[in-house]
Amino acid sequence: MRHRLQLNEIGAVLLLTAGAFLIRTYGISFPPNPYFDEEHYVPAALALLNQQQDPNWVHPPLAKWILAGAVGCLGNNPLGWRLPSVLIGTAMIPIQYTLGRKLLGQHRAALFAAFLLSLDFLHIVQSRIATLDIYLAAFLLTGFLALVTALDREKGLTRSGLIFLSALLFGLALLTKGSALFGLLGAGAILLNSKKNRGEPASWAILLGAPLLLYILAYLCIPPHRGIHEVLSLHARILGFHARSAMEHPYTSHFWEWPFVLRPIWYFFSQPDSLHVKGILAAANPVLWWAGFVCICYTVYNRNLRSSMEGATILATYLFQLLPWGLFARGGFFYYVLPAVPSLYLAIALTMTHQQPRLRRGIEVGIVVVAIAGFLLFFPLLSGISVSAILYNFIIFTPRWI
């Protein structure tokens, strides 16, 4: 559905985006040294900047090239490493709003979904660290937006162009991390569900073929300019690495644990003295995520919702980015679920649009209060601000969070 934004709606989105930016930039220079997976990606970016071979060859190069460009402009310092993540994470807020507006047809519902994403713990933490996952999530979310916009148009050059743009964005996601393939499968499911595009081979060829072609061409053309045999050999090594590498990390978890926030990850932790704690915890607001999971289940259960374009799209973008991780018996890490997080909040917003006005208002107010209270309580442990050991022990309510 197409909608023309009013000035007050634009103002609300801009205000929300500005707030999200401030949250993601506050104290961004801490820690002063690379931490967690920055220890892999910052050296990789520096190597690329110095025209050396990428030591992190097990992941595609795009996000590391972006990181290298930022370091080249801003210097080899925390701001240079992390500002791109801040910017792309912040940009996801208006993108989430726009996708919500197209799917749900309401400013209120779209703003609600964008607001919840702006205060999401995992999204905040991943927007403040120089790793690949926020780039992956942003390219996928924007790709879904382009695809949904295309499916709202009649046949013609505009729709074909938007499908191509969507394919390009999915290709950029693939060039960031191989798990973008799950999102591409979700896009295929959305296209399959669209009555407008059934029996259109061109749409399928563009959406599924263009990202793979872009991926292959990038490996052929970007330095060190490999030949096709070298590209195939490299990917055989990559697949072998991921197949052989055993998950022996203490924070290993499984996909079915992620929606319930059972095993978050401490990216950084220090205890300056017996009375204070400093840390950066990749977690989520359990109440919001549990509520989101209930809304996903409700959408699956409700025939009218799951058969609607908006319901099917939200389910595809969530389930296809969560369930395929079940194929990996070795497990993974909590932050792997990041690309599915926007869909979780869209599911909550969708469910709210199907409630009686008075009930909807009450539930939404309750959710907003929980989101704000949770953010205020947890933000020190999302950003490395020193907190008292008493507060730490109160927040960390289960041993699985240690």
Q: Is residue 2 part of a domain?
A: no
Region 365-392 average pLDDT: 96
Residue 268: per-residue pLDDT = 97
Residue 381: per-residue pLDDT = 97
Residue 400: per-residue pLDDT = 87
**Percentage of residues in the chain having pLDDT higher than 70:** 96
Number of domains in the chain: 1
Q: Is the distance from CB of 345 to CB of 120 less than 8 angstroms? A: yes
User: 270 in helix, strand or coil?
Assistant: strand
Distance between CA atoms of residues 18 and 16, nearest Å: 5
Q: Is residue 1 part of a domain?
A: no
pLDDT digits (tens, 9 = 90+) for 277-305: 999 999 999 999 999 999 999 999 999 89
Task: List b or e across 121-151, with b for residues whose CB sees 16 or more CB atoms inside 10 angstroms.
Answer: bbbbbbbbbbbbbbbbbbbbbbbbbbbbbbb
Tally of CB atoms within 10 A around 389: 13
- Which domain, by its residues, includes 321? 7-401
pLDDT band at 246; cut points 50, 70, 90? low
Token digits for 104?
Answer: 């749900």
Half-sphere exposure for 169 (CA within 13 Å, toward CB): 21
Residue 240: per-residue pLDDT = 76
Q: Is residue 318 part of a domain?
A: yes
pLDDT digits (tens, 9 = 90+) for 313-360: 999 999 999 999 999 888 899 999 999 999 999 999 999 999 999 999
pLDDT digits (tens, 9 = 90+) for 195-238: 666 557 778 888 989 999 999 998 888 877 777 888 888 888 88
Q: Is the distance from CB of 79 to CB of 28 less than 8 angstroms? A: yes
Q: Is the distance from CB of 118 to CB of 20 less than 8 angstroms? A: yes
The amino acid that residue 315 corresponds to is L
Half-sphere exposure for 270 (CA within 13 Å, toward CB): 9
pLDDT band at 189; cut points 50, 70, 90? very high
Spatial CA neighbour of 342 closest among 45, 127, 57, 154: 127
pLDDT band at 174; cut points 50, 70, 90? very high
- Which residues are registered as beta bridge partners of 332? 253
pLDDT digits (tens, 9 = 90+) for 86-116: 999 999 999 999 999 999 999 999 999 999 9
Could you tell me the pTM of the whole model? 0.95
Residue 243: per-residue pLDDT = 66
Distance between CA atoms of residues 95 and 78, nearest Å: 26
